[in-house]
């Protein structure tokens, strides 16, 4: 297969990620981008599980934007290991009102979904990015995204959320890094063949999705190899279980310092976007890193 040549853009440090009406500089000298996480699952903003609290979600979103988030990722289906699937109607009810309200305020909104129907409806409601932990493998998902001008995040996952952490294993050429990078490169090419511009695509190794602690660490140590494929890379380490294992922190919200360290490590290996719960902590750390990293000059 003939691959598109991204060399001129890379050589000049000119690289934009196009996402709806937004365009983000993701070149090597740009400030790393922060994607703030808004979970709209009943365990996050519920008032007992029956009525999902729209005002609470909006408040949280406003706070993350004020703290410096460049975009917000709205997710209504828990992809936690072992989580049962959420009915489509339920995901729709949780996600769409939040997308509509926040997009109307001018924010860049990403929607974390695997379902083409939700993708289409979210785009109609104003979403600029589709973030898919299944890398647009559902039938009709590429078409739903290609028909609009949204940015897409293609993530690698081994197995399904229900079974992925049972026995993660990577036996192929190059181990976990070889398999993840081959998969993502292939998915990007399938998306491009489906009519999506290369400049709309971001790749994500999917930390914690069918990976052991050692797999997650290996993917991070060698993240530069994924970056070398030429697409912007997004890293999602925030509060994840491997950080709990490394620090002994059993409670996810106690993993803020660990998450910041992981985000900085990924950025120093070439990630251009970090997906985080704790925006202030991440933004401060990235500012200091940016001022001190020798190749970036003044912040």
In this structure, are residues 133 and 114 in contact, taking their beta carbons and an 8 Å threshold? yes
Between residues 3 and 83, which has the closer beta carbon with respect to ligand 7PM?
83
78 touching ligand 7PM, by CB under 6 A: yes
Asked if residue 219 binds ligand 7PM (CB under 6 A), the reply is no
Report the residue closest to ligand 7PM, judged by CB. 236
Whole-angstrom CA distances from 201 to 118, 150, 289 are 19, 9, 26
Provide the minimum distance between the beta carbon of 292 and ligand 7PM in the complex, in angstroms, as a whole number: 26
Binding-site size for ligand 7PM (CB under 6 A) equals: 16
Least spacing, CB of residue 155 vs ligand 7PM, in Å? 4
**CB 1 to ligand 7PM: min, Å:** 25
* CB of residue 31 to ligand 7PM, shortest distance in Å: 20
Pairing of strands 201-204, 234-235: unpaired
**Residue 152 in contact with ligand 7PM, rule: CB under 6 A:** no
Kindly tell me which residue out of 45, 64, 72, 79 binds ligand 7PM, with binding defined by CB under 6 A: 79
Which residues sit at the interface with ligand 7PM, rule CB under 6 A?
Answer: 37, 78-80, 112, 131, 133, 153, 155, 204, 206-207, 234, 236, 240, 275
């Amino acid at each position: 297969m003939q691959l598109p040549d991204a060399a001129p853009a890379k050589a000049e440090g000119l690289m934009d990620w196009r996402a709806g009406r937004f365009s983000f500089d993701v070149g090597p000298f740009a400030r790393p981008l922060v994607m703030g996480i808004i979970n709209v699952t009943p365990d996050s903003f519920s008032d007992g599980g029956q009525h999902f609290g729209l005002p609470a979600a909006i408040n949280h979103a406003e706070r993350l934007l004020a703290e410096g988030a460049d975009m917000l990722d709205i997710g209504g289906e828990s992809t936690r290991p072992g989580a049962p699937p959420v009915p489509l109607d339920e995901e729709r009810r949780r996600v769409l009102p939040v997308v509509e309200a926040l997009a109307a305020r001018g924010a860049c909104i990403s929607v974390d979904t695997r379902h083409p129907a939700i993708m289409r409806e979210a785009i109609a409601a104003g979403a600029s990015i589709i973030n898919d932990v299944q890398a647009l493998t559902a039938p009709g998902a590429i078409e739903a995204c290609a028909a609009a001008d949204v940015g897409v995040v293609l993530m690698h996952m081994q197995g399904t959320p229900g079974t992925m952490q049972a026995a993660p294993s990577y036996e192929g050429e190059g181990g976990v890094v070889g398999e993840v990078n081959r998969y993502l490169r292939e998915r990007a090419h399938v998306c491009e063949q489906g009519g999506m511009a290369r400049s709309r695509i971001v790749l994500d190794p999917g930390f914690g999705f069918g990976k052991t602690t050692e797999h997650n660490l290996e993917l991070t140590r060698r993240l530069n190899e994924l970056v070398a494929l030429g697409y912007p890379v997004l890293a999602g380490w925030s509060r994840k279980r491997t950080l709990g294992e490394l620090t002994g922190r059993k409670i996810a919200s106690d993993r803020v310092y660990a998450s910041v360290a992981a985000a900085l490590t990924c950025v120093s290996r070439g990630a251009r976007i970090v997906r985080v719960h704790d925006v202030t902590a991440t933004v401060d750390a990235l500012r200091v890193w940016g001022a001190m990293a020798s190749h970036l000059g003044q912040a």
